[in-house]
Structure 1
Amino acid sequence: MVTFIKDFIAKKGIWVGLSLLIARLSAFLLSVFVARVLSKEDFGAATFGLNFLTIFLAFAGFGAAQGVVKYGSGIENSLQKKQLFRYAFSYGLIYNLVLTVLMLVISGILYWDEFAKIKLILLFSIRFLGIYLVEQKKAEYRADLDNLTFAKFDIFMSVTALILGILCTYLWNLNGFIFSLCFSPFLIFAYNRKVSFSLKKIIFKDFKTKEFWRFSWTTALTTQIGELVFILDLFFIGLLMKDQDVAYYKVSSMIPVNILVLGFIFMQTEYPKLCQHHRDRKYQYQFILNYWKLFAVVGTIVLVAGLLFDNQILSIFGHQYQNTEIYRILLFAAVISLLFRVLFVYMLASIGKTMWNLSISAFLLFATSLSLYLVIPEYGLRGVSYVTFGCLALSGILPAFAYFYESKKI
């Protein structure tokens, strides 16, 4: 395990980890500030709009960023790599605009008699474009294996978004919060003003463009459905309950959800290396063992501390968020997800078996939707938390079975 940690540090994993922690901490601090400043109704309304946007975020640009990381990291010729970046950005931008139109059409169909929600989603479509630009730039840094630059860029975007969000919310309440969310991604141009657009068809040496987009959209769709599964709770609460219920559940889930960043730090850093060793079963199994050794300790510490200080943790959001029942259930769910889901979703992708992730996510999407629809009217937020617990557990255990089944064929 010591070698495992040293290798992680050598790849600038500390910087990657720092950037992810700062990103999560910035989002967390902003949420705490906004939850204390805005009313439950306003905070719940903004949360609803963000969750609707999240449904589409993972599929931004038809997954062009996913393809850039996968194929760009394997290109040694710098000219070909730059051509890939330009090609993926340009076509991804067009696809992103198509998705924006689709998002607005769907919002119009679902909320045709609720103009306030349609207006909010229309405003967040500006954020959708900004997030696409940011994710493409991040993917290019990762494809260059430049973890240090990636981390510094991520830190810049996170900190400036936090400052802008606090300032605007303090001055203009809900309108200020929405403005900061829409404008902050475009601060990318204060960091890097280079935009290269070209629709010229490129022939790549090691792969075809059809292969690039097949991997990109498949991976994006898998991520998309996976994201859908984990925002369904807030979506159905917003649909079947009140805005203040959305706010309460959001606050209760915030700490547990952010625990998962601890696993993502390692997996995002190690993923390119795992792809390189996708046919080395011994290497992959050793990685899994080291990951479990490390995060069994981390998960235990998180669980013990989270349960012992539950009241103190929730109190930072304000006196109106004091019930710890939902928080405790979701904390257990997060630790299980840390040990299984975070690990095996990446492991399956590293050996090219993303269809398992897609199939499992699709199954969980259906099962969770049906469960929430049936459970909420009878059991309310408590029922939602238990459904989420089951979903998080299965989202890790099923990929684990799939991975060990497929890895036997390596």
Structure 2
Amino acid sequence: MNLIRSYISSFLSRKGSYVFLATAFARILSFIASWLALKLIPNKELGVVLFAYNIITFLIPISGFGLHQSLIRYGALIKTTEEKNSLFLYVLKKGLLASLVLVLIIISVSYFIDFKFENTFTYIIILSFIILPSFLYNIIRNQFRLQHDNQTYAYIDAVHSVIFLLSVFTLSYFFQEIGYAIALIVPPLLTSILFIKKLNIDFSSKIKLSITNFSFWKYGFFASLSNVLTQLLFVIDILLIGYILEDTELVTNYRYISLIPFSLLFLPRLFIATDFVTFTENIFDKKYTLNYIKSYMLFFFIISSFILLFSFLFAKQILTILDPNFTIYVDTFLILMVGITGIYIFRGIFGNLLSSIGKAHVNYYIASLALVINIIANFFLIPLYGIKGAAITSAILMWLTGIGSLIWFKILYKKIK
């Protein structure tokens, strides 16, 4: 139990409680904003905006060609404040330029696509520009993390959430669907403007860093691609259920049944967000790293045990809250709950440790293989078991990708001197 107490104490000392509260606050306000949009905008028009936004959402992780990912990893390894600030300026300049190139590519490619829904191209043009402020927003947050200022990092998320809610309500009320599209761009832009001065960076600094080489760009690009593929893994089931079973009701059922399991994945993410800079700074201290791994895995093994026990005891009651008709899918729900514990115990820590030692491309390879297996397995299991087949595939892959991350980290970490 000493390991658990020490782990939680360290998490709290790094202002992890602020990150937790900001995350919970953001989820609540995001839900309210989504509900307001649904009330203020006709479903048909809102659906077109959301369709276009879902396309852009997949591309946001590769904004700046992933340089925000490089910033947080390489920034944790360099020592002086001047070097960290110079790295931020390099990423700011190159990343915004790369993001603009990405926006132009999106608009150019979309021009030649015959979208099924009217005005989709218009909304893609508008929403593609969210890539620029989103990149700026991410690097500002990461810079505060590099300064070990998780409290301000949490405040940024909270301010972003408030601006998002106000923007959605105001712009959707006056300008309907166009207003909603613009409201998605406003929060990262305004939040970035409010907080960039608080970084106290000398923007005239011109220190040249040797780390900003090909490896620096490669790391960020593969780390971002890995995030894109991971997102795709969570939605591919829904796409394949609709394609194979041709039943929109089953698509809806699976989406809501998986809502709670997938929402619970925020917990390891917020711990990693709080701790990533610290354990990356100490990644070459093998004693420290091993102790952190033991503490993390023990903590999330206990959390996973409680979650599974609660789920198996009250699965029907949980699903009844969503919809009484969902109780026939108890098995599907429990399978997904078992699956997420694989991410809790293994993938959450070892995927990020691979990134910490500069092997983000390994995460990309693991996610790519998982995506292929997911598609093949679902074509066999969904016709046999319906949406339970999709849940079985996802649960198995959550564990396999986690164990795969563990194996690769163990192999690669031994080679570090």
Task: State the TM-score, normalized to the length of structure 1.
Answer: 0.83
2:266 is matched with which residue? 261
Does residue 285 in structure 1 map to residue 329 in structure 2?
A: no
2:414 is matched with which residue? 408
Does residue 344 in structure 1 map to residue 350 in structure 2?
A: yes
Q: How much does 1:409 deviate?
A: 3.1
2:368 is matched with which residue? 362
Shifted more, 82-91 versus 208-217: the winner is 208-217
Shifted more, 302-311 versus 143-152: the winner is 302-311
Q: How much does 1:157 deviate?
A: 0.8
Given residue 3 of structure 1, which amino acid in structure 2 is its aligned partner? S
Aligned equivalents of 1:306 and 1:177: distance in 2? 37
Distance of aligned partners of 1:289 and 1:328 in 2 relative to their CA distance in 1, 3 Å threshold: same
Distance of aligned partners of 1:114 and 1:317 in 2 relative to their CA distance in 1, 3 Å threshold: same
2:403 is matched with which residue? 397
SS at the partner of 1:352?
coil
Distance of aligned partners of 1:409 and 1:189 in 2 relative to their CA distance in 1, 3 Å threshold: closer
Cα deviations by residue, 1:341-362 (Å, 9 ceiling, x for unpaired): 1111012222333232121112
Does residue 230 in structure 1 map to residue 234 in structure 2?
A: yes
Given residue 212 of structure 1, which amino acid in structure 2 is its aligned partner? F
Given residue 185 of structure 2, which amino acid in structure 1 is its aligned partner? C
Q: How much does 1:114 deviate?
A: 4.1
Aligned equivalents of 2:326 and 2:44: distance in 1? 14
Distance of aligned partners of 1:202 and 1:381 in 2 relative to their CA distance in 1, 3 Å threshold: farther
Given residue 100 of structure 1, which amino acid in structure 2 is its aligned partner? V
8 Å Cα contact 1:357-1:399 kept in structure 2: yes
8 Å Cα contact 1:263-1:342 kept in structure 2: yes
Q: How much does 1:176 deviate?
A: 5.7
* Percent identity between the two aligned chains: 26
Distance of aligned partners of 1:72 and 1:285 in 2 relative to their CA distance in 1, 3 Å threshold: closer
Shifted more, 350-359 versus 380-389: the winner is 380-389
Shifted more, 375-384 versus 347-356: the winner is 375-384
SS at the partner of 1:192?
helix
8 Å Cα contact 2:137-2:191 kept in structure 1: yes
Counterpart among 328, 331, 334 of residue 334 in structure 2:
328
1:149 is matched with which residue? 152
Q: How much does 1:122 deviate?
A: 3.2
Given residue 216 of structure 1, which amino acid in structure 2 is its aligned partner? G
1:96 is matched with which residue? 99
Match runs of 1:376-391 below 5 Å: 380-391=386-397
Distance of aligned partners of 1:27 and 1:3 in 2 relative to their CA distance in 1, 3 Å threshold: same
Given residue 369 of structure 1, which amino acid in structure 2 is its aligned partner? I
Q: How much does 1:161 deviate?
A: 1.8
Counterpart among 3, 18, 25 of residue 21 in structure 2:
18
Aligned equivalents of 1:163 and 1:129: distance in 2? 21
SS at the partner of 2:130?
helix
Cα deviations by residue, 1:116-166 (Å, 9 ceiling, x for unpaired): 443443343133333222112112211222212111111111233245446
Aligned equivalents of 1:111 and 1:171: distance in 2? 30
The alignment covers a number of residue pairs equal to 409
Shifted more, 191-200 versus 268-277: the winner is 191-200
8 Å Cα contact 2:70-2:219 kept in structure 1: yes
Match runs of 1:190-229 below 5 Å: 191-192=194-195, 194=197, 203-204=208-209, 207-229=211-233
Cα deviations by residue, 1:178-218 (Å, 9 ceiling, x for unpaired): 443333322315623659999998621x5244342232223
Q: Which runs of 5+ in 1 are unaligned?
A: none
Distance of aligned partners of 1:239 and 1:44 in 2 relative to their CA distance in 1, 3 Å threshold: farther
Match runs of 1:103-142 below 5 Å: 103-108=106-111, 111-142=114-145
Given residue 391 of structure 1, which amino acid in structure 2 is its aligned partner? L
Given residue 152 of structure 2, which amino acid in structure 1 is its aligned partner? T
Distance of aligned partners of 1:209 and 1:356 in 2 relative to their CA distance in 1, 3 Å threshold: closer
Task: State the TM-score, normalized to the length of structure 2.
Answer: 0.82
2:55 is matched with which residue? 52
2:256 is matched with which residue? 251
Q: Which runs of 5+ in 2 are unaligned?
A: none
Given residue 125 of structure 1, which amino acid in structure 2 is its aligned partner? S
Q: How much does 1:38 deviate?
A: 7.9
Q: How much does 1:297 deviate?
A: 1.9
8 Å Cα contact 1:303-1:332 kept in structure 2: yes
Q: How much does 1:366 deviate?
A: 2.1
SS at the partner of 2:208?
coil
8 Å Cα contact 2:19-2:154 kept in structure 1: yes
